Structure 1
Amino acid sequence: MGSDTPVEILSFFWTKAPNTQDLCCLHPVSVSSASLTAQCRYALGMEDGTIPDSDITASSAWSDSTEAKHGRLSTGEGDGAWCPAGPVFPSGSEYLQVDLHKLHFLALVGTQGRHADGLGQEFARSYRLRYSRDGQKWITWKDRWGQEVVSGNENTYDVVLKDLGPPIVARMVRFYPLADRVMSVCLRVELYGCVWNDGLKAYTAPAGHVMSLPGMHVYLNDSTYDGSNSGWSGGAGLGQLCDGVLGGDDFTETKELRVWPGYDYVGWSREALGQGSVDIEFHFEKPRLFNNMQVHSNNRHTQGVRVFGKVECLFKPGLLQPWSSPGLTLPVPLEDLKDPSSRPISLPLEGRLAQILRCKFYFADRWLLISEISFLSGRKFAAITPRAGFPVAKDDSSNTAILIGCLVGIILLLLAVIAVILWRQYWKKILGKVGSLSSDELRVHLSVPSDNVVINNTHSYSSRYQRIHTFPDDREPDRDAEGEYQEPSALLRPRDQRDKEPPPYPGSPPYPSLSPPVSPPLPPSVPHYAEADIVSLQGVSGNNTYAVPALASSSPGADATPLPELQRQCLVFKEKLGEGQFGEVHLCEIENPQDLPNLEFPFNVRKGRPLLVAVKILRPDASKNARNDFLKEVKILSRLKDPNIIRLLGVCVSSDPLCMVTEYMECGDLNQYLSQRVLLDKTGPLHNTPTISYPALISMASQIASGMKFLSSLNFVHRDLATRNCLVGGSERHIKIADFGMSRNLYAGDYYRIQGRAVLPIRWMAWECILMGKFTTASDVWAFGVTLWEMLSVCQEQPYSNLTDEQVIDNAGEFFRDQGRQVYLSRPAVCPQGLYELMLSCWNRDCKLRPSFAYIHSFLTEDAMNMV
């Protein structure tokens, strides 16, 4: 209900930060009618729990697991939604009620069905809204054309948002799901708006009249008024005099589409009213000092419409107090009556104190048409303003207090700006060494000196397939007594056992040995996973996590903004997650993340609720190389910004020990999350054992594929993708890929240590990683196949649990030789054949034939959609 001609109301009022109910700062603001509804659209707390369970009630519930408190948008507690006890009839008598405890301006509502990991089938195709400002009188919401029914959902999972036109001012709201036949429905909801502080509560006015013009009727009634028009004793409400629509010069035209002529105005005929004035009474929640009243009125005198001649106002300081005496008579300057333009008339109210205001607007012609009325105060802001749903100022003791508050706010703002500038300069200085790295430093050292490696004289591989140096220092790989380089897989076993032990299982040949290098022709084309020059990150775990392109700074989508320096005292230690060669990983809380304005990440955390973070701490005695690697990791990981990748939030680098702070998800890692659950289709689960469905597993796998698709688009190679390195958050099971697994003692058995030095997750590694040290996006695809197998097995066993570490290495040789004797992970019981074939394609011997993460994500997303 916007307007092409904004009404400008200049006043002081308190602005409210998004997703909070706190008042922030006092400053002059120019408010236009077109912008108010657009700004007042904050989620009021159903989804994030700010609205407590006790304030969510319902007419009935099908069971304890579908009671009212489960009707929160985008959450899946209980059985996934509020469901009434019985089927919903077309009349719609069942309701879900939300009590906000104070008046709110509501501009938007959102609804959703019961998804329940794909098992839900219930949703409401339409619904009604009823609201109350006092908990006693309930009003049915209608749109501008008088329609009560709101179109709802078409499926169980999508959120449908509906703008409320006209908006609602209410304390309590009820949703009545509807159906075109007797059927079961379920509902989840959210309300969007802001607190209506010290604003207009209601007005009462005579009913508008119909003007008959040649060939048309102009309806000047208050069509959106939600009170009754039965006189002063009738129930007062709000309507078109506060709808934000300013009428134009020609009252027969309207700025709202598909509505009738005259919609922008409320109008009265002197003859039909039978008296010389229009009496309007305004009720406010609290007493206030009124300095000015502004009335937007029509003046099309050629059709008998003129601005009112004068206004008489009475003031009542409180509900039980008498009308103040004397009243106030305000003449209207009418020197330009010949101009037929509509206009705002400004009337001084001399700072009168009142909670109830009654004004008589005297006719100057046959008709009086008013579009908007607003009130202004030097110390308070009261209005029938366009969408007057904004928070307003508390009463100050004097204008001096306001001035002092403004000056203090400006000084604090200047100090904050200076502090930010100083910290940015310091940050650039700290990371300057990282930006000045030479290209040679950014190139990886090959782990073999020759250009080619030939195994069993059958295949050769060019040195274009570069290796990541997996050792914690710059030493070369081991040489044998004759000075020859040993094959990488041979380094994974004690020297006295090399080439002496029999095959670990029938049909397995001994370890392959190195042969003289042969230079074959280069491959004719570069596959999608072609390797780039990469940076080797040591990290606090003492091993590489991401294999990062040296030119990542120019990669599209890899935004690199300076990270904020966090104060260590804001981090509250919770527990130690793990440790590595160079440092430790701690789980911490930031108690009030909103108090750290330099954090740019959009946290979904309300004030008073802590934010879980993981803090990587580098030991103070770490080597210079480790410190440089730490700063490299900070710079590079700060570029990874994707919904399914753990974000780096800030650093502590002003003093030792160096720290980096990343997100952490409240449900912990995916391995532990799944291992504590059983599949829904598994017979005989233990009593009260949490369950998980196949659709939920596919949804989580799709999120992992999405995050890996993002990494692969930047040519980042993770090298350690597994369920232990995926974190789970919230009841909706939001998945984010992380890198903490290697540092945790809990998963020490998942890594194979090379003679006390590097550790490798060999059960997740492609054969070319184990035998050749070649890590690419294609090897990450292999690891994804193993991760998917873990998930569908609900993390009940380790991959290749029937093989020893040495047998897993030998099995990699079988993949290399491609003689049909390699051992594959078996198909999990819950896994369809088509999905198992996707896993097998991830484990293709030819890495060029493995699917891309874009294809995997598309496959899993389509699979998830087909299951709904």
Structure 2
Amino acid sequence: MKVMELKLLTRGVVFFLLAAAVRAQVNPEMCRYPLGMTGGQIQDEDISASSRWSESTAARFGRLDFDNGDGDGAWCPDIMSEPDGLKEYLQVDLRSLHFVTLVGTQGRHADGMGNEFAQRYMIKYSRDGSKWVDWSDRKGRQVIEGNRNAYDVVLKDLEPPIIARFVRFMPVTDHSMIVCMRVELYGCEWLDGLTSYSIPDGHQMIYRGLDVYFNDSVYDGALAERLTKGLGQLTDGTWGLDDFLHSHIYSMWPGYDYVGWNNKSFTKGYVEMIFEFDRVRNFTSMKVHCNNLFSRGVRMFRQASCYFRSGPDWEADPVTFRPTVDRVSQIARFVTVPLGDRTASGIKCRFHFSDLWMLFSEVAFQSGSAVYNTSLTPRKHGHPTNTLPGEDPTHKLDDSNTRILIGCLVAIIAILLTIIVIILWRPGGPKSFDASRRILDDELTARLAIQTQAFSSHHSSLSTEDGSTSNSTYERIFPLCADYQEPSRLIRKLPEFAQSMEHLGGSDGAPHYAEADIISLQESSDSRSPSITAVNMNLFAGTDSSMKEFPRDKLTFKEKLGEGQFGEVHLCEAEGMQDFLGEDLSLEGNNESLLLVAVKTLREDANKNARNDFLKEIRIMSRLRDPNIVRLLAVCVDTDPLCMITEYMENGDLNQFLCDLRLKEATEEDKAEQEEKEGESMVSYSKLIGMAVQIASGMKYLSSLNFVHRDLATRNCLVGKNYTIKIADFGMSRNLYRGDYYRIQGRAVLPIRWMSWESILLGKFTMASDVWAFGVTLWEILTLCKEQPYSQLSDEQVIENTGEFFRDQGKQVYLPKPPCCPERVYTDLMLSCWRRNAKQRPSFQEMHTQLMESLA
């Protein structure tokens, strides 16, 4: 018995070590730690400036949110003495390469004695201290909007992030103004050690008349036929989607996430890439994220041959690797190329084509000093200030981290062995062992749950050598700090909060027509879990009798639409669906034997609450019958995975549909004639209002049932023939719209740009908050979805703006009137949707009537 218990505890130790190993792997999504300006880890000698206004405003005082009682509390340059052509700057030396994802700035208030801040600024960065690069965002803009007052901290995501040792903040202002800055950098150490890569410039694809560009648009080196001495999209931490026409980044051109080449341009049949590193390293593997959409002529590489260089010449014997050819799955994936523990400071790899096109979105290396991730812990206190010439501070940090990790693991093993000895020899050992094992199991479960959440969000998984898939992007999360509070908690401290509650209209208890969390059911307190069939039948008891089980073998997978928290959404063809539905329930105007449907599945390992929520959603959706609401057609709940089958419109979602259109401008005289000639690429204002009428009609139906959608937007509306619009709820599951959602610490991802102020700050979702979202959706429609709502504001500024709506002092920012929108529609309809007082917003019935009248 004791041997069995010992095995169980040993297994627990193994699990614990595995959890520690997972924690030690590089996790770029968590690369948002303050690098030491605020905390003091960055030493004064590592902060310099081009000039200073006075000794009390020297560079060392430019630390964000930091006041040691000395100086005037900020760095202030001597702008008045600035000669022509010279820009003032505050420079931070991080002592080693870092991956910087976020910056924060603040002005100088000096306890009310000062009021200087930088309204705008630019950033320069360098990896070696000699070559400096101007940072620009993904659309080429260099100027960053800074502070509006001297007190508040303004955080700005760097998109794309930068890899640098030196960073300069350069205020943009005229000579008549005095500016002061306090700054912080957020990120983690760049453990790859990669300082540059050299690749051929990407090519252009013409796909069905669409221009698809596969150039490295954020490369910071020399740009020519071959890109040299820089880093770019292959190291920006954003991995491409399965469909290369779509991008993680909002409103970018098709192909943006990938760098790609056409086989016809390379006579030798391969693309040669050269990677340079900070020093000689012992390389374990290289991971290359490849697209594999072979239906469009794109496949992962057939062979990789890598040569190594430690001195001036390349070694003759390469490492050659041939990945397993995948002719079934078109999912983009990481391919791991083993490098055989070869030592080098430079690697030259030749990737051989296996089809017409080869597309890469990310390349990462693992070496002897890069397998441990210091990004999961804040930067170590201080860098060596007495580093001798030839010493490598990065190397010293890496060795230190290795020793620390090994020491921790040895200490854990020693403690666990001591526990084993005590348990086995003390009286009542087995009972005590059971209790200890339960405690250990609970702790392991909690730890592993945290790791699973961190590594599985947004379909993220650790890649393996067999080519398993992995996807990731940087989440927009506030940097954690000791005094962080959610906006919903902060707002309750404001004096106006008590008066605001009585002005909020609507009901808190309304059901929610949204994806996984439509209705939350309490888990049974009975420890005996009923069978799957029993649970399904109990929850299905109140479902519409017409909801029947559809044969799974008649569903043919076409495309993966996206992934949610508890499962996936697939586009499928359903054979014989019209006959299955019968005459009373068949889809009007569609008599084809193969019908396009969306199939939402629940993962087989989902917990009981998720399963209950999924079945509850089926139960509710089965009762919805409206021409402008996507219908639930059938279910598959006899076995796992559970599935719900809904309509899917042939023109996809409204957001993408409108993005591809242009507005047809017509005078009253030729309006009718141009309507007749209207092609697929043109749309008239009346057609746009007709779409809005249909959405208002569908929402009128939902509100009549007291249903709250919570995520109304064009991405959640589907388009059929003749501009038919139906409201759905797939947007949150699609990687394409990940940028529309914001993750607030401790809360779910939220579509903040479509949400009312009370939904963001108070967590209050009502029909009135859906009205607010409808106003934003109408704005999207009339701008043809050419830009994201509040595109000029960062996510943090959008949240700040909701605070202005709450305070109602006339400082809130509204979405501007679309060019084609009549003044009356904007003022009487859109702006009324965004009234502070929820009770004063119009109902969907009123808006539907008003829109119909505008069409007349």
TM bucket normalised to smaller: 0.3 to 0.5
Task: Tell me the TM-score normalised to structure 1 length.
Answer: 0.41
| CA radius of gyration, larger in | 1
- Indicate the structure with greater helix content: 2
TM-score between both structures, scaled by the size of structure 2 = 0.41
